[in-house]
Homo-oligomer: A and B are copies of this chain.
Amino acid sequence: MNFVQGLHCVFCDAIFPARALYTCPRCGITGILDVEYDYAGIARSLTRRRLAGRADRSQWRYRELLPIREDAVLPALPVGWTPLMPAASLARHVGVGTLFLKDDGRNATGSLKDRASAIGVVKAREKRQRIIACASTGNAASSCAGMAASMGLRSVIFVPERAPEAKVTQLLIFGATVFRVRGSYEQAFQLCQQACERWGWYNRNSAINPYLVEGKKTVALEIGEQLEWQPTDWMAVSVGDGCTIAAVWKAFREMKSLGWIARTPRMLGVQAEGAAPITTAFRSGAPLVPIEPQTIADSIAVGVPRNWKKAVLAIQESGGAMINVSDDEILGAIRYTGRLSGVFAEPAAATAVAGLRRAVGERTVGRKESAVAVITGSGLKDIQSARTAVGKPFDLSPDGAGLDDILKGQNLIVRTAS
């Protein structure tokens, strides 16, 4: 917290001291706050060289850029420093010159949300709170529950009815008290808000808690460092609530102002066609109009995104673009990303790859340009969707009858028997 200067309202531009605030006291619940730092001070304290010498390979290696105390108790569960891998075959298929996948499916509980939840449990502990609560379509919830387990906190989770079974099971495994709300994400969110206010639990909702997004930021700080401070032309990120892409952009702005990178990449925000209110707002220039979301990509099925404004600003400031893809394109991207790179992405994660491919088709992204696609969650978290993307195994009796014919059909007989 050494370098935190205050909380800045994204809507009314007022600045508040960094105390126990969730949203702007003037604007109310929609007044999203953003953490401001003393970058001059950070630049003196943290250099690229000093960073290179740090043994800590987790998101805490960037602690000067995080809103946590120097003596903060950190979860034992390691978060961050997920692999950034080149994906040459996938790049060819998508149509870009160079493509990297940042695989946050390898994070502690299998998604990028672990980065935010790790901040959440650290802040809860800082405030001596024993219970942390969250409403989520799944990933934020399981990461919150996992991080709470690691810190010895209790967690209370409100999930909408459609949350995939794997994600709910994860919650229960982590010892969370889980409420499955017969309704939408929005209704689960409201119930969680009320309970947090009423019972004084720590509120882990990226939609209103300004500190969480700072954790998400570390995915891009890592990308910067892993690319040896030479960012790609584009960053493809799927967009639901809007705070992940805002966090990614914030990190690049910070790296620029600290003199770590010479130029920032353009943000490609990708939404599912059936849940694209931010694309609509970005294109129209008008305030966000809530919609009823309809997509298989449950992690980004957000009809009332709270961080839409931050997302729109990120796209604008970076000179980027918003694009929508269909559920069929998302399923296709799960399949070809797996086949061509060995990375199994959940639908919301594959959305970024699908968006990149479409953006090349529409000439928004050039064929010689480079890009990173952020794989925000593991495909193991939503097997049901993946199943609809692929065929079936061939059933075989133990005597192997019919095997040769299938092999011939699959072009798998490469030589005659010796």
Contact = CB atoms under 8 A, between A and B. Distances in A.
Interface in A79-135: 83, 85-89, 106, 108-110, 130-131
Interface in A351-402: 378-381, 383, 386-387, 389-398, 400
Interface stretch (A10-18, A176-184, A270-278): A176-184
A78 interface: yes
How many copies of the polypeptide does the oligomer hold?
Answer: 2
A410 interface: yes
A301 interface: no
Interface string A299-321: 00000000000000000000000
B396 A181 contact: yes
Given A173-B390, A396-B179, A415-B200, A87 B83 contact: no
Contacts of A178: 393-394
A266 interface: no
Contacts of A159: 393
Given A175-B339, A338-B175, A383-B165, A180 B77 contact: no
B400 A191 contact: yes
A378 B344 CA distance: 14
Interface in A219-253: none
A85 B78 contact: yes
Interface in A132-180: 146-150, 152, 154, 156, 158-159, 165-166, 168-175, 177-180
Nearest to A180: B393
A76 B341 contact: yes
A240 to B, nearest CB: 20
Contacts of A175: 335, 338-339
A77 B89 CA distance: 12
Given A380-B110, A393-B171, A415-B200, A183 B398 contact: yes
Given A169-B390, A393-B159, A396-B191, A338 B174 contact: yes
B400 A194 contact: yes
A105 to B, nearest CB: 9
Contact of A76 (B88, B130, B180, B418): B88
A200 B339 CA distance: 23
Contacts of A198: 417
Given A85-B76, A412-B154, A166 B339 contact: no
A383 B166 contact: yes
A417 B339 contact: no
Nearest to A392: B172
A390 B339 contact: no
Given A391-B172, A398-B182, A75 B342 contact: yes
A413 interface: yes
A354 B215 CA distance: 34
29 contacts: A76-B86, A76-B88, A77-B85, A77-B342, A148-B342, A149-B339, A154-B412, A158-B396, A165-B383, A165-B387, A166-B380, A169-B387, A169-B390, A170-B344, A172-B393, A173-B335, A173-B386, A174-B338, A174-B342, A174-B344, A175-B338, A177-B394, A178-B394, A179-B396, A180-B393, A180-B394, A180-B395, A199-B413, A200-B415
Instruction: Pick the 4 closest A-B CB pairs, nearest first.
Output: A175-B339, A150-B342, A173-B338, A178-B393
Interface of A: 57, 75-78, 83, 85-89, 106, 108-110, 130-131, 146-150, 152, 154, 156, 158-159, 165-166, 168-175, 177-183, 187, 191, 194-195, 198-200, 334-335, 338-344, 378-381, 383, 386-387, 389-398, 400, 403, 406-407, 410, 412-415, 417-418
